[in-house]
Amino acid sequence: MARKKRPCLLPSLLLLLLTLLLLPQVDSRSFVVDRKHNQFLLDGFPFRYVSGSIHYYRIPRVLWADRLFKMRLCGLNAIQFYVPWNYHEPEPGVFNFNGSRDLIAFLNEAAKANLLVILRPGPYICAEWEMGGLPSWLLRKPKIHLRTSDPGSISYSQVFQGVLERNTKRELALTAKAGAKLDILLENMGRLSFGSNHSDFKGLLEPPILGQTILTDWMIYPLKIDKLVKWWFPLNLLKRPQPDIPSGPTFYSTTFPILGSSGDTFLYLPGWTKGQVWINGFNLGRYWTKRGPQQTLYVPRLLLLPKGAINKITLLELENVPSKPQVQFLDNPILNGTSDRPHFDSFSDPQSTYEPIQLSGH
């Protein structure tokens, strides 16, 4: 009888308490757990952590200082945050700590805000994040067992420390001439952020069957969509004929100016179904208006170029496109709408003068 694998308690899962205050008397700094009196001692004095959670990887870098300052104003003296492994090592041995991934820069911003840091580096973080922070390339090893004492899983994590729904089979009605090439786009709905996650593979997990014929000789490759949107679409905004019945997967994009002063806003996508949005190349997030309940996406004002400049929005719609593709920027969010009972209170103002933005497809 095979022995069950026990969960692996890696040292990397321990909380690191980092005192990062930039004070001149660095040599005199100390932190002690006074177990006798059940308290912490900071520099010899009783101390209590008043901490809040913040996810730097969900906040544009230009807003880091603002969010940390506001946390300090709320009375916090510390913050705690995770470090998602897959955010910093997208491919084996390829590390990215630049731009919004600059962990040291975020720690320095915390120090400037006079905040202590409780650093939680993973390798597994949950956090409702893709695969709980574990990189998907770990699944290239078919028999790997994540979040266990599996040697393959441990060795990888130690290095870091130093259009299909899940479980659903679909039948596709295809019409084509013999010998035609078949392309299948598989949407990555995200991987589980809980459990041992030993079977959450993506792609063609079983051979596709056309009639009674098993289709073989597939070439499978990922779409680097963030790079595609950032670097390719600015050069290829050629208008193409619109199909009689719009459907996805299709990219749509348009440009728009800011006519006056701008503030934080909320992107509303009336009639769209399910997909992804980019503002000026920044991956704003995923929408799924038919499922809800969230009907709008938050757009920080700093993502929008000021008056006189041209902004660009790009959508990847995976399913059904409205007959007249439009988007709207609202002053207030719609957070509790559903497919059965949508809430459109934000549009009841008769003085509203918004202009829908028309989009063209690619």
Task: Assess whether the region 1-164+182-214 and the region 225-361 belong to the same CATH fold.
Answer: no
Q: What is the pTM of this model?
A: 0.58
Please list the alpha-helical segments (H only) found in 162-223.
none
Closest among 74, 71, 75, 73 to 53, alpha carbons compared: 71
Fold for 225-361, please state it: Jelly Rolls (2.60.120)
Domain limits, the chain: 1-164+182-214, 225-361
| H or E, element range at 213 | strand 213-214
Strands 310-317 and 250-257, bridge-based pairing: antiparallel
pLDDT tens across the length of the chain (362 residues): 445 444 443 333 333 334 333 334 444 678 888 999 999 998 889 999 999 999 999 999 999 999 999 999 999 999 999 999 999 999 998 989 999 999 999 999 999 999 999 988 888 898 889 888 999 898 888 788 888 777 777 777 766 666 334 445 555 555 556 667 767 666 666 666 666 655 566 666 777 777 777 878 777 777 777 777 776 655 554 555 555 656 668 888 888 988 887 789 999 999 899 899 999 989 898 898 888 788 999 999 989 998 888 999 999 888 888 888 889 999 999 987 654 444 433 333 334 344 445 444 44
CA distances from 293 to 44, 77, 129, 271, 335 (A): 50, 35, 19, 15, 6
Fold for 1-164+182-214, please state it: TIM Barrel (3.20.20)
pLDDT at 151: 77
